[in-house]
Structure 1
Amino acid sequence: MIIERSSEWKEAFIDRLENREPWDSWTLYNMSYDVVKANLITDFTGLQSPKYLPNLTPLNHQLDVAETVIERMNGKAILADEVGLGKTIEAGLILKEYLIRGLVKKALILAPASLINQWIEELNYKFYIPAIAYKKNYSLDHYDVVVMSMDTAKKSPHKELIYAQDYDMIIIDEAHKLKNHKTKIYEFVQGLKKKFCLLLTATPIQNNVFELFYLISLLKPGHLGNYETFQSEFSASKHNLEHDEYLRELVNQVMVRNRRHDTGIEWTNRKVEIIPIQFSKEEKEVYDMILELKNISPVFSGAFSMITLQKEMCSSKEATYLTLNKMLQKCTEREEISYIEEIIQKLSSLEINSKAEKVYEIISKADDKVIIFTEYRASQVYLQWYLQTKGITSVPFNGKFNKSKRDWMKHLFKEQAQVLIATESGGEGINLQFCHHVINYDLPWNPMKLEQRIGRVHRLGQEHDVHIYNLAIDNTIEKNILDLLYVKIDVFEKAVGELDDILSTFKKSI
């Protein structure tokens, strides 16, 4: 293809100049005027973007969120819809709207690495936004819409390259991972220029109310005062606060949150229950010996190591053994070495796992696909072996898998295996609406992790009632975990709003 520079304009220009010809055409001018006028957006009410998106049919609540953020919140907001309601779609609509209106030219999306491909696909195919996934050899000068992992963005030299850009919009997915001002990713985001900023999280409070304070302070510094003012004004401590109605009013000025029952969509029900389990006599003996460790060995005097061991013993002897064996290497006194070796010996002789037996009982009654969540890789391996001995097919799912393997495990689960055994990473970025039984084999300290787990199946597209089974061993640390989970749920509901059932159908009064 040959491109030549035209010189016709020059001849016409000289002809008009020498012969005093008219310089323009009134007809052409009016046509040009009409075209420009037709493309003008004369007011800032209503959305223009949906008519440019043939591959997307947004739901009413998603359109309402986009309008609210643009018209009332000036493009700075926390999108906190419950899991599965389409926060990515809402963010895409807002970004597309600003692009169409010419108010955004460059945008940066930060997300966990496991969600980057999902963002790229949705932006390109649903929104016709030419987004690219950042690679280390890319020049940010040449790309207007970039999706990057949080871990990459906060490190040099990428951090400095991002700071050198003038991004009009910043979108942060799973924004609860920012936590507080002490984390590197929070510090990095705080340093970004934020003309427009969206923070996406279904769980703006994970463990304590101050996490919400820090998120809002990123969007609107001073909106809740400084840390000391916030703490004093609301008598706030980690797991308690007062004047919650006033706080919710302030929060709602920067946060949009839809609950499932607010969307007008007919949702299936959640059937949630806590299933108490009794240790066998032999398991209880080992558990009690572990409790005694803090009096036997200084290696176990720290609260963290003791709590870890207790939780592991409530999960599997395999998980417990790995930690005990590591600790054994640090012991020097003969007495403590002998005591730990005795525990290990008793562990080895255990023939049953009461919690695993309950899992088998639930799966047998369910007679359908089931997801099991455990906190320990060793327990994951054990459960896969145990279920195999019972003739139940299963596949593992954990954070060590790359995207291809994650997709393959999901495919195997959908087409062949009855059970998927996931570690915590399975609670993020994977949609499994074809399953409606969830077993929380190990309970986390954080109630929002339970919400994330359940949200993998209780989301748009789920056609069945969802059954959630929370396993807890009586007279162990799991009773303490349950009590603290209820306290944290109460704090969330005071500051943010009602939460769907995640522990049991009946909420415990605090």
Structure 2
Amino acid sequence: MRVNVSPGDIVRARGREWVALPPPDGDVLALRPLSGNENDVVLLNPDLELTAVEPARFDLPADAARTVQAKAALLSDALRLTLRRGAGPFRSAAHLSFEPRTYQLVPLLMALRLQVPRLLIADDVGIGKTIEAGLILRELMDRGEVDSFSVLCPPHLVDQWLIELKDRFGIDAVPVTSGTATRLERNLPLAQTLFDAFPFTVVSLDYIKAEKRRDGFARACPDFVIVDEAHACVGTHKGKQQRFDLLQGLAKDANRRLIMLTATPHSGDEEAFARLLSLIDEEFASADFDNTRYRERLARHFVQRRRVDLIEGDWDETRSFPKHETTEFSYRLTGPHLDFQESVIDYCLGVVSRAGNQRRDQRLAFWGTLALMRCVGSSPAAALSALRNRASNETERLEPRIYDEDGDDEDAVDLEPGTVFTSDPELLALLDRASGLTTETDPKIDALVSTLKPLIKDGANPVVFCRYLATAEYVKERLRKAFGKLTVEVVTGELTPDERRDRVAEMASEDSQKDTQRILVATDCLSEGINLQQLFDTVVHYDLSWNPTRHQQREGRVDRFGQPAELVRSIMMFSPDSAIDGAVLDVILRKAEEIRKATGVTVPLPEERGAVTDALMASMMLRRGGQQQLALDLRLEDGTRAIETRWRDASENEKKSRARFAQNAMKPGEVAPEWNKVKDLLGSPDDARQFVDRAMSKFGVPLEKKGPVHLAHVHALEPSLKEKLDQRGLTGSVRLATAEPAPSGTSLLTRTHPLTSALAESLLEASLEPESLPDLGIGRVGAWPTPAVTVVTRIALLRLRYKLTIHARKERLLLAEEAALVALQGDKIVASGNAVRDWLSTPATADLADIARKRLTDAAKADLPMMLAGPLADFIRQRAEELVEDHARLRAAAGAASRVSVEPVLPPDVIGLFVLIPDGA
């Protein structure tokens, strides 16, 4: 006869005990070994088993091995650290490898308010949008509401997402890109899509947006989607339009959960902003921002916070971010370099004046002038590359490259543009002069070295951002000569995304560190996609970007959540002798900085670039004394006035946007208390460190402290444990950090760290199945004298299980577990939780004689059935009622309509039973 099994029940099958989990369907059982972890779950059909699946109980064995105080405390910590299915309202907490800041929980609460979560998270660069989206995803997964998802992002961010999901949230996803899709689809049945076979995916937007893939993806797409860099999916550019068509198709499914991330949602363009909002709800396309009801509805879906809001507001998040110091460093052009730049600009302005009256010819001449001058101002190497390259087929791509626009081809972001001018003797002469300058003393390089020397002496680790590939290689070689003892590397678009990540990772490796500082030279291929805060603390803008948001993106790689340095510096280099530097500063960067100071955010260039081009050309001509202006004067002056007007409009629009959409609806007090309860139940990072330290000592391999880092010599552990750690990628001596942010080359020791979980699981298994680690001696009963109590006190170490029912549109049954320490004196419970943990952790003052220890533990075991039926059962029922209240409080704060009921599974699992007697008794 088939046994009726529900989640939380204990059954015996295949010769061992298991706990039943919510099954995927009605014909199979999902079972996890009582001493196993989440990865040990098996599915079985009771009708196909050779021996029947039977109900079972988890009783304290009559012959349970005795233990001592230190090992009893270790067992208690091991039990707490192995549990992953939390019973509290934040179900995801046990799966996180970090402690989120309170402000990062706000988008999660907003998502819980919505029946179908659709959010636009528009927090500043470096605040943690990835973390905020991941928290929503992990929480909904652990609530049983999400069983598949896709992250859509630009191709250069795919690897970053894979790492963040794995390291922070314990989620293994697969990349879907032009390079991986064919391999993933190989050998799949015809009826099965890639997204059926792989439920967790990170998908390149540029791969999936193609028309031949877009419709198929819309049909197979999971019902939970995260879209990163969402602002790059709206606009008139062909690639952006394809991305928007893709997202619009996905958004048509009213039940699809959609979380969109961007640091620049508005940028003064209300039409583009409205298109973005229409993906949340088509009614938002009306963009009726002055309508109070419209804004109130939108506020439920839109969160936008500046860093200053978090530091100066109620959140008090000063500790989350370093202080940012921004300076400028000007240098003088001298000798041949100054002569060369002046010769090039004279040549270019001559070409412009001869462009004729055709608008296209004039604009092309302007673009060619600006493109060449950018290269000349960058370095002799970039100038030489541009002069050598021809651009007959690149005229359509020239303007977006000049203005550093985010394009589809991210790998071409640092290529030097070719000249659009016809070859003539004067151009060839310039090429020869550029070639000669590549081997001479360079005043710009000398200025960079002068800038870096005091920083290096002060312990800084800088990133030097260059605009062009040739410049980056040129700067790398010069810096290696100037700083011979330092590690100097370069990352450019010549490397694949994997190679870029590997090169940065190599700089963090133990071999390359050796207490040596490092300098990274990079192009803007690295301004997004790879976080650098663990390795670097200074950003030098060697070349000015013409897109203000590029500066923000560069600095955001270093100045972000998790930066260990207290101070981050950014330095902008320019030459007052350079006509192109002066023009860019006047027309673009100074204006953008004024808006940033007024609004707290960086606004991109206005979409219409013709006025920008005119204004830049006018500024350059004025700096050359005006001799080349001729008939162009009037139109260029019009362009200057037009760009001033557009900057002013952008500033006003951004101010309005910030005032309209500031997220002030939630306060820290609504979020923090419930999260703090979870922290107390699960243990702090310090609790995890103490556990690992004590556990490694019990295995005879204590942690070795080396400055701010701890070394765990896992290679010296016993073979069975070493093999388990090897499977999790831990070999040799593992470098561990015990406080966030973790220094480079280390991993933060948390409850989810592979070392913590492997040790906890092994200790728990050793207590329940002593033959697994027979030499460890982790018993389950014990007695000892202690100054922690004044009367005889019995402590029960319990594993509690609950059935959580989510009463919503679709009712769900979940299994939850908690570890509990309960102290009894006589038949009354006198304490529980951390107070009892302190008693258990107080060292014993003596060792009892075997006969006395046996008498005390036998008496406790004899009374155990009465305690389980009486005070312990009452304790568990009361705890279930508290959980109902906790869930109700959080759902009320989130405005959720659903409710949660909690049913305790009785009796609880008694993992340990210990008797504490007063010292000297």
Which residue matches 1:284? 338
1:145 and 1:97 map into 2 onto residues whose CA distance is 15
1:149 and 1:335 map into 2 onto residues whose CA distance is 39
Deviation at 1:396, TM superposition (A): 0.6
Of 215, 225, 231, the residue aligned with 1:160 is 215
Of 348, 362, 371, the residue aligned with 1:308 is 371
Which residue matches 1:359? 448
Are 1:498 and 2:607 matched, yes or no? no
1:448 and 1:384 map into 2 onto residues whose CA distance is 25
- Aligned to 1:192, the other structure's residue is in SS state helix
Letter in 1 for 2:539: V
Which residue matches 2:788? none
* Unaligned stretches of 5+ residues in structure 2: 1-13, 15-43, 51-84, 186-193, 356-360, 394-417, 605-646, 652-921
CA contact (8 A) 2:595 2:602 kept: no
Deviation at 1:455, TM superposition (A): 1.5
CA contact (8 A) 2:333 2:575 kept: yes
Point out the more displaced range, 414-423 or 443-452.
Answer: 414-423
Letter in 2 for 1:358: A
Which residue matches 1:390? 482
Q: Relative to structure 1, is the Cα distance of residues 485 and 220 closer, same or farther in structure 2, using a 3 angstrom cutoff?
A: farther
- Aligned to 2:521, the other structure's residue is in SS state strand
Which residue matches 2:583? 480
Q: Which of the pair has more CA radius of gyration?
A: 2
Which residue matches 1:337? 424
Which residue matches 2:329? 275
Letter in 2 for 1:312: C
Of 409, 412, 433, the residue aligned with 1:346 is 433
Which residue matches 1:429? 529
Which residue matches 2:571? 469
Point out the more displaced range, 196-205 or 208-217.
Answer: 208-217
- How is 1:31-430 mapped onto 2 (pairs within 5 angstroms)? 48-53=90-95, 55-71=97-113, 75-124=117-166, 126-129=168-171, 131-134=173-176, 135-136=181-182, 137-138=184-185, 139-155=194-210, 157-182=212-237, 183=240, 184-193=242-251, 195-204=256-265, 211-223=272-284, 225=286, 254-261=301-308, 262=310, 263-265=315-317, 266=319, 267-291=321-345, 292-296=347-351, 301-327=364-390, 337-350=424-437, 351-367=440-456, 368-392=460-484, 393-414=487-508, 415=513, 418-430=518-530
2:462 and 2:221 map into 1 onto residues whose CA distance is 47
CA contact (8 A) 2:464 2:519 kept: yes
CA contact (8 A) 2:549 2:603 kept: no
Number of paired residues? 452
Deviation at 1:123, TM superposition (A): 3.1
2:503 and 2:446 map into 1 onto residues whose CA distance is 24
Deviation at 1:6, TM superposition (A): 6.5
Deviation at 1:359, TM superposition (A): 0.6
1:328 and 1:276 map into 2 onto residues whose CA distance is 32
Deviation at 1:417, TM superposition (A): 6.0
Point out the more displaced range, 388-397 or 68-77.
Answer: 68-77
Letter in 2 for 1:396: V
Letter in 1 for 2:502: W
Letter in 2 for 1:272: T
Letter in 2 for 1:119: W
2:298 and 2:343 map into 1 onto residues whose CA distance is 48
TM-score, with structure 1 as normaliser:
0.77
Q: Relative to structure 1, is the Cα distance of residues 269 and 335 closer, same or farther in structure 2, using a 3 angstrom cutoff?
A: closer
Deviation at 1:422, TM superposition (A): 0.5
* Unaligned stretches of 5+ residues in structure 1: 9-38, 234-242, 503-507
Q: Relative to structure 1, is the Cα distance of residues 437 and 501 closer, same or farther in structure 2, using a 3 angstrom cutoff?
A: farther
Deviations 1:282-304 (A, max 9, x none): 33332233223242476995222
Point out the more displaced range, 395-404 or 435-444.
Answer: 395-404
- Aligned to 2:286, the other structure's residue is in SS state coil
Instruction: Name the structure with the higher strand share.
Output: 2
TM-score, with structure 2 as normaliser:
0.44
